[in-house]
Structures are given as structure tokens and as C-alpha cells.
């Protein structure tokens, strides 16, 4: 494996997403690749599952065979200078194990988004896979990016109800091995959305934005984690990568209603900065 690579003077950084496919294009692999492109990073992909879904419902989930998942990772890392990896939907303990095994020897940053439930409410990570995720991939992660229900599922407790509990749960997740934890505040209440970044032996860092009134938030978690990976691929320090990703996603949510995609939870506008001059 080439491990972490650095692009030439005129070449874009390369990031890899390992995640499920969303047929509606708003989340998963499709959202990750759109995010990479929007932020000036070349995106490669490893598909772990194919879902049949739209903005309202997930009707089918088909896991990709384990040897194909592992083969995709090996093929990409054997040839491309991947500067950062984002991991999303893994579905089963066997896929978790295959991904962990294929990443042995990779030296670059890894952003792990513990995708458990889709926006529509469909379960995307089986209960028995949570233990495998905690054991095999959390300790490998540069940063994990759970929302409040995901953090609670990883800790087998109720979701945090206030800022103090958010930090306590975040530090409990730190004790499981990741270098950093970003507790996302999208599921909290209030006019301000606060994300909390925690690192071992360091102070908490907050990233705040006005909470926007829109139903079009499909793929926000996928997009934020891949935006962080894009920043890390470009050589940003983690706090700067999180801050830039947070600001970019806020703009993508603010512009989401312009897309008018589907009749349920529509996607965010990944290309809000690029399409503005095309209207």
C-alpha cells in the first residue's frame, strides 16, 4: 500500500470514501464524492452496500460481498496516493472486519462516521456490528463524528439531554480509542446548533451556527464527515478541517431548498458555492 501520499504542485489531494450507495444521490457514497469535488479534492470510492432509497424511505439493503469490499480497498490503496479516508455505512460485523483488515498498514488520517440509522428511520448498522465497530475501527480513527443518537448507541445509554452530558458522552467515546470525537449537535434543541470537538488531554472546542428551518437535511452527516476528510487530505490540522467543514455544510443546508429534490427529506446543496453564478 502506498499509505498517505502528497499531491504534486498542480494535482488535487486524493480522498477515499468507504460507504454505502444511496440511489437517491443525497447521502452515502454519492454525497461523499460530491463533497470531495465541491471542496477541490479528487474522490475515490469503495462501496460496502447498495441501498434502494429515496428521500422518504429505504426499501432494500444489499451488502457487497466481503472479498469485493476488501478488494476495492486494496486496489485503490495499491495505486492511488490517498491522503485521507472517510468511513461511513458498514452494516455488518463481517464488513467491519474486512475494512479493518484491508486498512492495516495505511498511515493516513481516517474519519469514521458511525452511520447507524438513515434519515428515514431505517437501520443501517446491525446491532451486532456495533461491538465490532468499537473494537476494530474506533481505535484506528483520527476522529469519529457521531450525532447524539449515534453516540448513545455506541455507549448503550440514552441520548445526551444537555451540553454537560454531551461532553461527558464525548469523553467516554474518547476512552474507546479514537484520537478525537466530534459530537454533532443537529439532533439537539435550540436556535443554535453546536458541534463539540474533543481531543485527548485537550480542551473542548465548539463550532456553532444558526439552526436552519428546513426539512432538506438528507446526507448532512455523510457530507460533514467527508468534508472533514477533504480538509485533512489537503493537509489542514483537525480543528481547521472541522471548522471549514462546519461552515461549508451550513451553507449547503441554507441552500438546500433551492434543489427541490424529492418529497421527503431532500439533500443538502453540495455545490452551493459553485452553482451560485450559474443561476
Helix and strand tally (H, E) in the chain? 9, 9
Cell numbers representing residue 18 in the block: 468507504
**Residue from 28, 219, 231, 243 carrying the catalytic annotation:** 219
Catalytic annotation present for 184: yes
222 catalytic per annotation: yes
Phi then psi for residue 134, to 5 deg, are: -65, -40
Q: Which of 184, 193, 243, 266 is catalytic?
A: 184
Q: What is the largest CA-CA distance in the chain?
A: 48
Contact residues for 106 (Cβ-Cβ < 8 A; gap 6+): 1, 3, 4, 77, 82, 85
d(CA 151, CA 184): 9
Q: Is 194 a catalytic residue?
A: no
Nearest to 106 by CA among 74, 134, 136: 74
Catalytic-residue membership of 8: no
Instruction: Spell out the residues 6+ positions from residue 193 whose beta carbon is closer than 8 angstroms to its own.
Output: 185, 186, 208, 209, 210, 211
Q: Is 224 helix (H, G, I), strand (E, B) or coil?
A: helix
Task: Single out the catalytic residue among 221, 231, 243, 266.
Answer: 221
Cβ contact 87:120 at 8 Å: no
Catalytic residue among 20, 193, 217, 234: 217
Distance in angstroms (rounded) separating the CA atoms of residues 34 and 222: 11
Alpha carbons 165 and 267: distance in angstroms, whole number: 30
Annotation says 51 is catalytic = no
* Whether 277 is catalytic: no
Polymer length of the chain: 279
From CA 89, how far away is CA 251, in angstroms rounded?
24
Catalytic-labelled residue, pool 26, 28, 55, 222? 222
Pick the catalytic residue: 17, 35, 55, 220? 220
Helices of type H across 103-219: 127-136, 148-155, 163-174
Catalytic residues: 184, 217, 219-222
Amino acid at each position: 500500500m502506498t499509505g498517505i501520499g502528497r499531491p504534486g504542485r498542480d494535482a488535487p489531494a486524493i480522498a477515499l470514501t468507504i460507504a454505502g450507495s444511496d440511489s437517491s444521490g443525497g447521502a452515502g457514497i454519492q454525497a461523499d464524492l460530491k463533497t470531495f469535488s465541491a471542496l477541490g479534492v479528487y474522490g475515490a470510492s469503495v462501496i460496502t452496500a447498495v441501498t434502494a432509497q429515496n428521500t422518504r424511505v429505504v426499501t432494500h439493503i444489499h451488502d457487497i460481498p466481503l472479498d469485493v469490499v476488501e478488494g476495492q480497498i486494496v486496489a485503490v490503496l495499491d495505486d492511488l496516493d490517498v491522503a485521507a479516508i472517510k468511513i461511513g455505512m458498514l452494516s455488518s460485523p463481517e464488513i467491519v472486519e474486512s475494512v479493518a483488515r484491508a486498512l492495516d498498514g495505511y498511515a493516513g488520517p481516517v474519519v469514521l462516521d458511525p452511520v447507524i440509522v438513515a434519515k428515514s428511520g431505517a437501520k443501517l448498522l446491525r446491532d451486532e456490528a456495533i461491538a465490532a465497530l468499537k473494537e476494530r475501527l474506533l481505535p484506528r480513527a483520527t476522529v469519529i463524528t457521531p450525532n447524539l443518537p449515534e453516540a448513545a448507541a455506541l455507549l448503550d445509554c440514552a441520548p445526551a439531554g444537555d451540553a454537560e452530558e454531551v461532553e461527558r458522552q464525548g469523553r467516554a467515546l474518547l476512552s474507546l480509542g479514537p484520537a478525537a470525537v466530534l459530537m454533532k449537535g443537529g439532533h439537539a434543541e435550540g436556535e443554535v446548533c453546536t458541534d463539540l470537538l474533543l481531543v485527548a488531554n485537550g480542551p473542548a472546542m465548539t463550532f456553532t451556527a444558526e439552526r436552519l428551518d428546513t426539512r432538506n437535511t438528507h446526507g448532512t452527516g455523510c457530507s460533514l464527515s467527508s468534508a472533514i476528510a477533504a480538509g485533512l487530505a489537503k493537509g489542514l490540522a483537525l480543528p481547521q478541517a472541522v471548522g471549514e467543514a462546519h461552515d461549508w455544510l451550513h451553507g449547503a443546508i441554507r441552500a438546500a431548498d433551492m434543489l427541490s429534490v424529492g418529497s421527503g427529506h431532500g439533500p443538502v446543496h453540495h455545490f452551493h458555492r459553485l452553482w451560485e453564478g450559474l443561476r
